[in-house]
Amino acid sequence: MNTFKALLQREYWEHRGAFLKTPLIMGSLMSIFLILFYLTVEQFDLRVGGGQYIELGSATMDDLDSSGIQSAIDIFMLFTGSIYHFVLFIILFFFMLGSLYDDRKDGSILFWKSLPVSDTQTVLSKFVTALVVVPVIFALGLMVSHLVFFLVTSLILLINGINPFTLLWSNINFINNWGAFLVGCLAQAAWALPIYGWLLFSSAYSKRRPFLMAVFLPLIVGFGWYFYNAIVNLEVLKVGVFKTIGIVMAKATTPFTSGMGFDLESVDFDPTKQTSGELIRSMLNGLTNPSIYYGLIFAAVTIALAIYVRRFRNTT
């Protein structure tokens, strides 16, 4: 247990800049943009009259109630949380991609193999880092960022003679919004299991440029399977080769020319109609999808292959 804990600490210290500094920098930028907006926007005027209206420049919201403020705050917290989720996935993608390749590239794998640490522990430590450690760090970074942002907002309200506790803090639902982010991390990890497993295997197997294997190989297989099914269904011998190629190319571009197959008129983009509690229930229901279990099996197989390759490959 102490060995595995030390391996997790190693991953944190080697990638502390990406894991810790990234969410804090994002939070700092949020507060900086708020201050710049307050200082640079022309004719910035924030006034509250009898608690019934707010005037911001030429825009006025009459009969403002706490539900409207709560909805606006929820939208802001959920939106910033989605940005953190996106950045988290990008960071984990490149972390997993180089996790088993980089120490072979610089030769440090020989040093780590000289230590009493098994290849299974090494690979699993990287997997647990991506699955648990980094999301927890990002969650804490998001919480700190939200608190700092609201403190800056409170200062701006105080400067304009407004009580931030009645207007702002009493309308913030920290538990639901932060809970939605944590559940989102769980859902993201569950759906990304096969991706993480494939990235680990690509990092362990590739001799050079693991990105090519991790990204282009699945794309080639996917497009090849798509074109194969399209050609078989069109019965090439009856339709004709050149006509079949033209129809296949038209079908291949259909998802891009038709908005990826989504009916935008049937999609409700109004975030005020979905509270953080409903979002949490929706994500938890998604975890019962049987497809996740197939992804779990694929992840287990690719991780086992990564351990096997790691055991017998010391250099590139």
Picking from 95, 57, 77, the residue whose alpha carbon sits closest to that of residue 139 is 77
The pLDDT tens digits of the residues spanning 235-247 come to 554 555 455 555 5
Count of beta carbons in the 10 Å neighbourhood of residue 138 = 24
DSSP 219-268: HHHHHHHHHHHHHHHHTHHHH-HHHHHHHHHHHHHHHHHTGGG--GGG--
- Tell me, what amino acid is at 250? A
Structure tokens at 159: 């400067």
Backbone angles phi, psi at 15, to 5 degrees: -125, 30
Task: State the residue for tokens 């996790």.
Answer: 99
- The range of the structural domain enclosing residue 112 comes to 2-312
Token pair for 197: 């497993």
Closest CA to 211 of 91, 101, 85, 86: 101
Residue 220, Cβ neighbours under 10 Å: how many?
10
Q: CB of 44 within 8 A of CB of 154?
A: no
Instruction: Print the SS3 string covering 146-160.
Output: HHHHHHHHHHHHHHC
Which residues, 6 or more positions from 123, have their beta carbon under 8 angstroms from its beta carbon? 100, 200, 204, 303, 306, 307, 310
Please compute, for residue 311, the number of CA atoms within 13 A of its CA located in the half-sphere on the CB side.
Answer: 10
| CA 12 to chain centroid | 19
- Cβ atoms of 169 and 150 closer than 8 Å: yes
Strands 59-62 and 53-56: antiparallel
Q: State the number of CA atoms in the 13 A half-sphere of 127 facing the CB.
A: 26
Q: Mind listing the pLDDT tens digit for each residue in 182-214?
A: 999 999 999 899 999 999 999 989 888 888 888
Query: Contact at 8 Å (CB) between 16 and 133?
Result: no
pTM, rounded to two decimals: 0.77
Q: How many domains does the chain have?
A: 1
Digit-by-digit pLDDT tens for the chain (316 residues) are 688 888 899 899 989 989 999 999 999 999 999 888 888 765 444 444 444 444 544 444 444 567 778 888 989 999 999 999 999 999 999 999 988 888 888 777 777 777 778 888 889 999 999 999 999 999 999 999 999 999 999 998 888 888 888 888 988 989 989 999 999 999 999 989 999 999 999 998 988 888 888 888 888 887 777 776 666 665 554 555 455 555 544 554 444 344 333 343 433 434 444 566 778 888 888 788 888 888 899 999 999 999 999 887 655 5
Looking at residue 257, its pLDDT comes to: 40
Q: Compute the CA torsion angle 101, 104, 108, 110 (nearest 10 deg).
A: 130
